[in-house]
Amino acid sequence: MSRVEIIPAIDIIEGRCVRLLQGDYAKTKVYDASPVDMAKRYADCGVHRIHIVDLDGAKVSAPKNLKTLEKIAVGAGVEIEWGGGIKSEESLRAIFDYGANYAIIGSVAAQQPLLFGEWLARYGGERMVLGADVREGRVAVNGWQQEMELTIEALVDEFLPMGLKQVICTDISRDGMLEGPSFGLYTDLQQRYDGVDFTVSGGISAMKDIEECDRLGLRKVIVGKAIYENRITLKDIERWLLNE
């Protein structure tokens, strides 16, 4: 059985690496490293996939950091899952044209399910990733600024017959807090939907959290702030990947 895959995160505002606390744009911390440099460092560790969120794009409902995406795609040599502001066919094509391998779709899936269903049919579950941002069991959309009555289970159930294969579930209450993820949430989802790969997102604080994800049989885990705050080092990631 393969170990849980570590997917480092890069959140971008105005071309710079940032982290938000619980999705709050007013609580932004800017880091010195450029997104392109960070992506190269991750690639050098042996990472296969990087998770990138265009926070400017999420706010204005259209991708805003496409040039940065292009530089990472050309310079880092890793697979890129890209989210933030993908609300139209034009935006979706743009992120693929600029080098993304996977598109993370959140708000459209929750608010325009017919459109996301069309994209799943056209591009396939291999490239289309459902981004489900959850706060207290309910889905939040538009850069986490609006909550819906929809549950993540209802969302997954809707797209399962259409070929859904990948879901990134972010527990907003844990995101950027470095307090550990909601292990119960992810194990319940992964056991309920065995044919779907769920990615743990939000709250990873140290390697012990990744080890616990692995022990629980979870498949993918996104790590963001813990790396920038030096709680998980690039060496830690490299060692993990070498022991796969």
pLDDT at 50: 98
Kindly list the structural domains of the chain, giving each domain's residue range(s) and its CATH number in brackets, ordered by start: 5-242 (3.20.20.70)
pLDDT exceeds 90 at position 31: no
Report the pLDDT value the prediction gives residue 192, as an integer from 0 to 100: 98
Q: How many Cβ atoms sit within 10 Å of the Cβ of residue 99?
A: 18
Q: What per-residue confidence (pLDDT) applies to 144?
A: 60
pLDDT at 13 over 80: yes
**Conformation bin of residue 194: beta by default, left when phi > 0, alpha when psi is -120 to 50:** alpha
pLDDT at 71: 95
Which is more confident, 20 or 161?
A: 161
Q: Is 11 a catalytic residue?
A: yes
Tell me whether residue 133 is one of the annotated catalytic residues. yes
pLDDT(113) > 70: yes
Strand 146-151 and strand 138-141: the pairing is antiparallel
State residue 167's pLDDT score: 98
Residue 244 has pLDDT above 90, yes or no: no
99 pLDDT exceeds 60?
Answer: yes
| Long-range pairs for 90-95: beta carbons < 8 A, 24 or more residues apart | 91/62, 91/63, 92/119, 92/123, 94/63, 94/66, 95/63, 95/66, 95/69
Closest to 209 (Cα-Cα) out of 173, 187, 183, 242: 183
pTM: 0.92
Helix or strand holding residue 64 (H, E): none
pLDDT at position 174 is 79
Assess whether pLDDT exceeds 90 at residue 30. no
Handedness of CA 67, 69, 74, 75 (dihedral sign): positive
d(CA 237, CA 131) in angstroms, rounded, equals 24
Q: How confident is the model at residue 98 (pLDDT cuts 50, 70, 90)?
A: very high
In order, the DSSP letters of 70-123 are HHHHHHH-SEEEEESS--SHHHHHHHHHTT-SEEEE-HHHHH-HHHHHHHHHHH
Element (H, E) at 125: none
Q: What is the pLDDT of residues 170-225, one digit of tens each?
A: 988 876 667 889 999 999 999 999 999 999 998 999 999 999 999 999 999 999 98
pLDDT digits (tens, 9 = 90+) for 176-188: 667 889 999 999 9
**pLDDT, tens digit (0-9, with 9 covering 90-100), for 143-153:** 566 788 899 99
Residue of 54, 56, 133, 236 with catalytic role: 133
